[in-house]
Amino acid sequence: MSYQNLLLEQPESGIHLLTVNRPKALNALNAATLEELQRAVAAVAADPAARVLLVTGSGERAFVAGADIAEMCGFSAAQAQAFSERGMRVMSALEALPVPVIALVNGYALGGGCELALACDWIIAAEGAVFGQPEVNLGIPPGFGGTQRLARIVGRARALELVTTARQLPAAEARAIGLVNEVVAASALRERGIEVARTIACKGPQAVRLAKQAVHRGLDQNLAGGCAFETAAFALAFATSDQREGMHAFLEKRVAKFSGG
Ligand code: CAA
């Protein structure tokens, strides 16, 4: 599958690395890039051997500097609606991937770029990364889920401050408010992402998928509903060969060899 504005690689077995690659526009998301992102996410979803997806931006300056302002500038309301819906579909597809998705934020993650990172399961940031929702500077609110996911992650008051003032956060502050899990040197970002992905890739693949699904499904409903889903996921795991292998390996004091079955 070919892409003009993305790179989709597999640095190691089961580990996919998706790089937004439009350096001349600081990796800004235009409609063509969103369409490619949709295809790339679908390709990872269709790979039964996938274990983790890492998402990053090319170059050292930007993860993604937002939706493409030059493209949006002349939009009618109907075109803006279609563009927002396209972006929302990409973010939802990313979030719904059965495997963990980790954003490796290497620079500016602004507007649609921050929203792309928020749609990932968690964020590892380079020391110089900058986060923000600067849309109000342009006379628009966020359009790819920023008002929703940011509020769910950092809380209503912090999200409201960020989307109404357009204040940009350095990586350390983003970590302090729970937006970012971990901050590493820029030179170590890719390797740290692969290291975390490798840790996940050697666990029971079905268990990882079930655990991700349970967290996401639970957050969309009340505690009792989430716990009921967790029970169903737990029971389902006992119909897998991974459960038998994982438990026998423990009892036999050896390393488990999971097949993903
Ligand atoms: N869209 C289109 N082009 C962009 C862009 C964007 N979001 N961000 C940067 N670029 C382009 C610039 O126009 C510039 O192109 P030229 O070299 O052809 O002039 C190039 O990338 C480099 O950018 P700068 O010269 O501005 O670089 P800088 O280092 O001085 O500043 C920056 C970097 C602070 C990130 C600045 O580029 C900036 O503020 N970008 C816009 C950020 C923004 O507002 N993002 C939100 C967009 S709206 C949105 O995302 C809506 C949504 O929720 C869906």
Angstrom distance (rounded) from CA 205 to CA 14: 10
* Percent of the chain surpassing pLDDT 70: 100
Q: Which of 12, 35, 36, 115 is catalytic?
A: 115
| Token code pair at residue 74 | 């002349």
What confidence tens digit (pLDDT) does each residue in 43-60 have?
Answer: 999 999 999 999 999 999
In this prediction, residues 28-50 reach a mean pLDDT of 98
Residue 260 binned pLDDT confidence (cut-offs 50, 70, 90): confident
**Predicted TM-score of the model (pTM):** 0.97
Q: Is position 135 annotated as part of the catalytic site?
A: yes
What confidence tens digit (pLDDT) does each residue in 105-128 have?
Answer: 999 999 999 999 999 999 999 999
Of 122, 248, 95, nearest in space to 192 by CA:
122
In this prediction, residues 157-174 reach a mean pLDDT of 98
Judged against a pLDDT cut of 80, whether residue 178 lies above it is answered with yes
Atom of ligand 1 nearest to the CA of 62: 35
Q: Is position 161 annotated as part of the catalytic site?
A: no
In this prediction, residues 174-189 reach a mean pLDDT of 98
Judged against a pLDDT cut of 90, whether residue 1 lies above it is answered with no
Dihedral sign of CA atoms 58, 86, 218, 148 in order:
positive
Residues of the chain with CATH 3.90.226.10: 6-201
Angstrom distance (rounded) from CA 63 to CA 42: 21
Angstrom distance (rounded) from CA 41 to CA 97: 8
Q: Which CATH number fits domain 6-201: 3.90.1150.200, 3.90.226.10, 3.40.640.10, 3.40.47.10?
A: 3.90.226.10
Helix (H, G, I), strand (E, B) or coil at 234: helix
Distance from chain centroid for Cα 132: 16
In this prediction, residues 240-260 reach a mean pLDDT of 96
In this prediction, residues 137-147 reach a mean pLDDT of 98
| Residues 128/188, Cβ–Cβ less than 8 Å | no
Angstrom distance (rounded) from CA 79 to CA 178: 34
Residue whose CA is closest, atom 10 of ligand 1? 25
What confidence tens digit (pLDDT) does each residue in 222-241 have?
Answer: 999 999 999 999 999 999 99
CATH superfamily to which 205-251 belongs: Lyase 2-enoyl-coa Hydratase, Chain  A, domain 2 (1.10.12.10)
Q: Which of 9, 35, 85, 135 is catalytic?
A: 135
Helix (H, G, I), strand (E, B) or coil at 100: coil
Helix (H, G, I), strand (E, B) or coil at 87: helix
Cα 250 to ligand 1 centroid, rounded to whole Å = 52
Residue 261 binned pLDDT confidence (cut-offs 50, 70, 90): confident
Residue whose CA is closest, atom 7 of ligand 1? 66
Q: Which residues line ligand 1 (CB under 6 A)?
A: 25-26, 28, 65-70, 87, 108, 110-112, 115, 134-135, 138, 142-144, 146
Residues of the chain with CATH 1.10.12.10: 205-251
Residue whose CA is closest, atom 20 of ligand 1? 25
Cα 68 to ligand 1 centroid, rounded to whole Å = 8
Counting ligand 1 atoms within 8 A of each CB, the residue from 24, 33, 69 with the most, and so the one to mutate, is 69
Average pLDDT, the chain: 97
